């Protein structure tokens, strides 16, 4: 979940350029991708750009 600097809920965002396999498909490595994303991004400040 993403929040603005003033605390508003902005919902979910997609990280461009990141592999994001679907869960529930055999051999798709979704768990590993989720763990890597969490390690890199959770609790880290990020800048969002609207395209």
| pLDDT above 90 coverage of the chain, percent | 0
Q: What is the DSSP letter of 22?
A: P
pLDDT category of residue 2 using cuts at 50, 70 and 90? confident
pTM: predicted TM-score of the whole model, two decimal places? 0.51
Burial 14-49 (b: 16+ CB within 10 A, else e): eeeeeeeeeeeeeeeeeeebeeeeeeeeeeeeeeee
Return all residues near 14 (Cβ < 8 A) that are at least 6 apart: 20
| Mean pLDDT (whole number) for 21-27 | 73
Alpha-carbon distance of 18 to 5, in angstroms, equals 24
């Amino acid at each position: 979940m993403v929040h603005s600097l003033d605390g508003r809920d902005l919902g979910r965002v997609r990280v461009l350029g990141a592999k994001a396999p679907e869960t529930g498909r055999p051999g798709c490595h979704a768990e590993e991708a989720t763990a890597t994303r969490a390690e890199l991004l959770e609790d880290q400040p990020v800048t969002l750009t609207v395209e």
